[in-house]
C-alpha cells in the first residue's frame, strides 16, 4: 500500500508543506503539514516508506458523561506519561527516533541503544514503536513522570506499521511487548463505559501519585481520549514559572480551568491542601526566576543530557543553536566526556521574563 503518491510529495515540497532533511547518512522528507490523508509529522524515506505522524488525542474533562458519550464498548486505560513522544523505526540495520514533529532527534536516536532492546525489529522490520522518553535528563521539557528520577527511560505505548494507517490492536501490542521484553507505559486494565466509579478511583490514585493521567483506547473504534489528573496541572505550573511570560499565557489559564473542572468533578472543592499546593506551585518558579535574575541577570531553565556518541551531541547542539537562536546558551567546553558518555549542559533563556524581571528589579517604569 502506498499512503502517498510521489507526485503529491513533489507538489508538497514545492509548496513548502514538506521539507528534505538529512541525518548522518539518512535522507528523508518531513511533512510540515497534512498532505492528502498523510498527517503532518509524517516522514517519508527515499525508498518511499512512510512513517505516519502520531495523531492528536482529544481531551475529555468529565468522566461522567464523557466516557459514555465517547465510548460504545470496552476500552483500555493506560498511563499517560509526562515526557516526549517519539516514533522509533529501523532502516538498513539502524534505529532512529522521530520527534512528534517528524524530525530525527539526535538525542533520542543516540540513546536508543541504552533504552530499548532492538530484537523486535529483526522479526518485524516494518514496525514502528511509539514511546515516551521520560526523565530529568531530557533536553526538551521541564518536568517528568515520577517513575524516572535520573537520566531518561523509555516506555512503549503504541505500535504502528510503516505505510499503514492506525495502530496495532491492543492484544497484539501487549503480546509483542511481552515477547520482546519491552518496557510498556503501564496498562491499568480494560474497562466498560459503565465503570465510572472504578475509573474515578483509578484517576484519583494517579492524582495522589503525581502522575499525569490516562489515555483511553477503545477496542473496536478509532477515537481515543485522554483524561488528566488535577495535580498534573499543579505540577506543570510548578516547573514552568520561569517561563511565565514566554510560554503562551493560555498555557497557564487552560491548566487552571482543567484543575478547577477536575476538582469540581471529584468533589475536591474543599481540599485545602490541594489548593494550598497550587498557590505554592504558582509562585515557586517566579521566586526562582527573581533569584536567578539577581544572580545572573537572566532567567532560564537548565538542561543536562547525556549522549553515547559525540557526533550526536554535536548534531543536537547544532540543531538547538539553529532553532533556538539567542534563546539557547550552550555552556563552555560542551560536550564534556564523563565516563562512557558525552554530557551536554545548556540553558534555554526566557527572554521576556529576563527583560521584564530585570527591568522591574532595576526600578524601571512600566506602562501596562
Choose between 56 and 192: whose C-beta lies nearer to a second copy.
56
Q: Which residue in this structure is represented by grid cell 502506498?
A: 2
Considering only residues 335-364, where is the footprint of a second copy by CB under 8 A?
356-357, 360-364
Single out the segment in contact with a second copy by CB under 8 A; choices: 15-23, 54-62, 140-148, 327-335: 54-62
Residue 111 binds to a second copy (criterion: CB under 8 A): no
Choose between 25 and 272: whose C-beta lies nearer to a second copy.
272
- Pairwise CA distance, residues 139 & 345, whole Å: 9
Single out the segment in contact with a second copy by CB under 8 A; choices: 88-96, 131-139, 214-222, 247-255: 247-255
CB of 271 to a second copy, least distance (A): 10
- Pairwise CA distance, residues 235 & 237, whole Å: 5
Choose between 171 and 264: whose C-beta lies nearer to a second copy.
264
Considering only residues 61-90, where is the footprint of a second copy by CB under 8 A?
61-62, 64-70
Among 165, 277, 314, 321, interactor with a second copy by CB under 8 A? 277
**Region for residue 299 given its phi and psi (left: phi exceeds 0; alpha: psi -120 to 50; beta: otherwise):** beta
Whole-angstrom CA distances from 113 to 44, 108, 149, 337 are 23, 10, 20, 18
Whole-angstrom CA distances from 149 to 130, 135, 136 are 22, 6, 7
Bridge partners, 84 (sequence order):
133
Tell me how far apart the 2 most distant CA atoms of the chain are, in Å: 66
Q: Which set of grid coordinates corresponds to residue 123?
A: 522479526
CB of 296 to a second copy, least distance (A): 15
Residue 119 binds to a second copy (criterion: CB under 8 A): no
Whole-angstrom CA distances from 185 to 77, 130, 213 are 11, 10, 12
Among 58, 119, 171, 175, interactor with a second copy by CB under 8 A? 58
Choose between 69 and 117: whose C-beta lies nearer to a second copy.
69
Residue 60 binds to a second copy (criterion: CB under 8 A): yes
Buried-exposed string 285-302: b where 16+ CB fall within 10 A, e elsewhere? beeebbebbeeeebbbbe
Among 192, 197, 223, 296, interactor with a second copy by CB under 8 A? 223
CB of 103 to a second copy, least distance (A): 21
Classified as helix, coil or strand, 365 is coil
Q: 358 CB contacts (<8 Å, ≥6 apart)?
A: 293, 297, 298
The binding site for a second copy (CB under 8 A) comprises: 56, 58-62, 64-70, 223, 225, 241, 244-245, 248-250, 252-254, 256-257, 259-261, 263-264, 269, 272, 274-283, 286-287, 289-291, 356-357, 360-368
Amino acid at each position: 500500500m502506498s499512503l502517498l503518491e510521489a507526485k503529491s510529495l513533489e507538489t508538497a515540497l514545492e509548496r513548502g508543506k514538506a521539507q528534505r532533511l538529512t541525518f548522518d547518512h539518512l535522507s528523508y522528507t518531513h511533512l510540515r503539514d497534512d498532505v492528502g490523508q498523510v498527517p503532518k509529522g509524517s516522514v517519508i524515506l527515499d525508498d518511499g516508506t512512510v512513517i505516519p505522524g502520531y495523531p492528536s488525542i482529544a481531551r475529555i474533562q468529565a468522566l461522567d458523561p464523557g466516557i459514555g458519550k465517547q465510548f460504545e464498548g470496552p476500552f483500555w486505560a493506560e498511563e499517560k506519561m509526562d515526557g516526549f513522544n517519539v516514533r522509533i523505526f529501523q532502516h538498513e540495520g539502524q534505529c532512529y527516533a522521530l520527534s512528534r514533529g517528524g524530525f530525527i532527534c539526535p538525542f533520542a536516536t543516540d540513546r536508543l541503544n541504552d533504552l530499548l532492546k532492538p530484537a523486535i525489529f529483526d522479526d518485524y522490520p516494518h514496525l514502528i514503536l511509539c514511546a515516551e522518553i521520560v526523565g530529568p535528563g531530557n533536553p526538551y521539557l521541564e518536568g517528568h513522570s515520577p517513575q524516572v528520577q535520573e537520566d531518561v527511560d523509555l516506555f512503549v505505548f503504541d505500535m504502528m506499521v510503516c505505510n499503514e494507517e492506525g495502530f496495532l490492536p491492543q492484544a497484539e501490542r501487549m503480546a509483542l511487548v511481552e515477547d520482546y521484553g519491552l518496557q510498556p507505559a503501564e496498562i491499568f486494565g480494560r474497562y466498560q463505559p459503565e465503570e465510572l466509579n472504578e475509573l474515578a478511583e483509578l484517576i484519583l490514585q494517579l492524582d495522589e501519585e503525581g502522575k499525569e493521567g490516562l489515555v483511553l483506547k477503545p477496542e473496536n473504534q478509532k477515537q481515543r481520549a485522554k483524561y488528566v489528573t488535577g495535580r498534573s496541572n499543579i505540577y506543570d505550573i510548578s516547573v514552568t514559572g520561569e517561563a511565565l511570560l514566554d510560554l503562551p499565557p493560555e498555557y497557564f489559564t487552560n491548566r487552571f480551568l482543567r484543575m478547577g473542572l477536575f476538582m469540581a468533578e471529584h468533589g475536591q472543592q474543599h481540599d485545602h491542601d490541594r489548593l494550598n499546593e497550587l498557590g505554592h506551585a504558582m509562585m515557586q518558579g517566579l521566586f526562582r526566576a527573581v533569584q536567578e535574575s539577581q544572580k545572573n541577570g537572566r532567567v532560564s531553565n537548565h538542561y543536562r543530557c547525556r549522549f553515547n556518541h559525540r557526533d550526536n551531541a554535536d548534531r543536537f547542539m547544532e540543531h538547538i543553536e539553529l532553532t533556538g537562536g539567542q534563546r539557547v546558551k550552550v555552556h563552555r567546553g560542551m560536550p564534556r566526556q564523563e565516563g562512557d558518555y558525552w554530557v551536554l549542559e545548556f540553558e534555554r533563556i526566557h527572554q521576556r521574563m529576563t527583560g521584564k524581571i530585570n527591568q522591574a528589579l532595576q526600578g524601571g517604569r512600566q506602562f501596562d
